Amino acid sequence: MTVAEAIEKIKRVGTDSETIYTSYVTDDKKRLIGYTTAKDLLLAKDSTILIREFMDENVISVTTETDQEEVAQMLSKYNFIALPVVDKENRMVGIVTYDDAMDIIEEEATEDIEIMAGMSPSDTTYLRATVFEIFKQRIPWLSILMLSATFTGIIITSFQNKLAACVALTAFIPMLTGTGGNSGTQSSVTVIRALSLGELELSDVIKVVWKEIRTAVLCGLTLAILCFAKILIVDKLLMHNDGVTVYVALVVCLTMALTVLVAKIIGCLLPFIATKLGADPAVMASPFISTIVDATSLIIYFMIASAILF
């Protein structure tokens, strides 16, 4: 076929096609051998040249087995209007266009966000979903995380006597576990998103851990100093809480710094571990991290308290 004949054919069949801006060239066995764009055809100097000579043979295609997220990333990366889909014998079976890719990018982001918030991804929009569908989407993680909080309960119970001896320690538990959870979430969510956008690879794990350690030291020190000042001003001066001694403040602030460090290391490692195991890294986000960090920060807290106070 010549360029002129190709334009004629596009005019004939174009009305019903999804896109006429990219045309794929196949051989007589329907195997994909090249492509050309409407832009190139329109701008062609010589319209009698054969498509075989005219087409670009470096055609990038996806197979019927390719994950939709990967297809969307490719379309976005190369700024293509469409990508051809081939079967195992390189026979062309369809195309994916940029508007499919936009929908996929949005869907996948929503899915990631839902999983990160401890929900199973849903196919329907919120207003269309029934209450029971939303319930089914949310109850599994709520139950799992509630039951896994048994461990934090056991840790507190085993330090019950020491807590009874220094009741002031109890008041700082939510602040410590909360800050630990937030620190871990920041790291895990950053890594999850970067992995999902292809900005990070599995092999970057050492670089990431090292970066998180340095960030954690900066964050941990800042928070520990801020926390010490807060305890002196709010708990000692304003609330006149006599149980809060300088030693208690020291225990809390040391725990704070150490918890932030451990939380950030766990937070950045878990998504890598999930990817390595072939699981979706997004499940490692916020709620899951919080549960692990809750337990870890309590152990750190009680160990430091035992060393300094008792």
Residues 289-308 that bind its own copies (CB under 8 A): 290-291, 294, 298
Q: What does the block give as tokens for 27?
A: 């051989």
Strands (E), 230-296: none
Site residues for its own copies, window 192-251 (CB under 8 A)?
193-194, 197, 199-200, 204, 207-208, 211, 214-215, 218-219, 222-223, 226-227, 230, 234-235, 239, 241, 243
- Among 105, 103, 86, 87, which residue's Cα sits nearest to residue 95? 86
Q: Which is nearer to its own copies, 44 or 303 (CB)?
A: 44
Residues near 242 by Cβ (< 8 Å), separated by ≥ 6? Answer: none
Q: Indicate which single residue of 4, 33, 74, 171 sits in contact with its own copies (rule: CB under 8 A).
A: 171
* Separation CA 47–CA 3 (nearest Å): 5
Q: Is 79 in the site for its own copies (CB under 8 A)?
A: yes
Q: Indicate which single residue of 186, 255, 275, 296 sits in contact with its own copies (rule: CB under 8 A).
A: 186
Q: Is 94 in the site for its own copies (CB under 8 A)?
A: no
Residue 80: φ, ψ to 5° = -80, 155
* Separation CA 292–CA 271 (nearest Å): 14
Q: Is 70 in the site for its own copies (CB under 8 A)?
A: no
Site residues for its own copies, window 252-281 (CB under 8 A)?
256, 260
CB of 211 to its own copies, least distance (A): 6
Residue 34: φ, ψ to 5° = 180, 180
Number of residues lying near its own copies (CB under 8 A): 108
Written as one string, the DSSP assignment of 220-254 is: HHHHHHHHHHHIIIIIIIIT--TT--HHHHHHHHH
Q: What does the block give as tokens for 220?
A: 């941990």
CB of 175 to its own copies, least distance (A): 4
Strand pairing partners for 96? 83
Q: Indicate which single residue of 52, 106, 306, 310 sits in contact with its own copies (rule: CB under 8 A).
A: 106
Q: Which is nearer to its own copies, 59 or 168 (CB)?
A: 168
Site residues for its own copies, window 20-49 (CB under 8 A)?
20-21, 38-39, 42-43
Under DSSP, the state recorded for 31 is: B
CB of 192 to its own copies, least distance (A): 8
Q: Which is nearer to its own copies, 30 or 165 (CB)?
A: 165
Q: Indicate which single residue of 177, 255, 275, 296 sits in contact with its own copies (rule: CB under 8 A).
A: 177
Written as one string, the DSSP assignment of 86-129 is: E-TT-BEEEEEEHHHHHHHHHHHHHHHHHHHTT----SS-TTTS
Q: Indicate which single residue of 4, 149, 232, 299 sits in contact with its own copies (rule: CB under 8 A).
A: 149
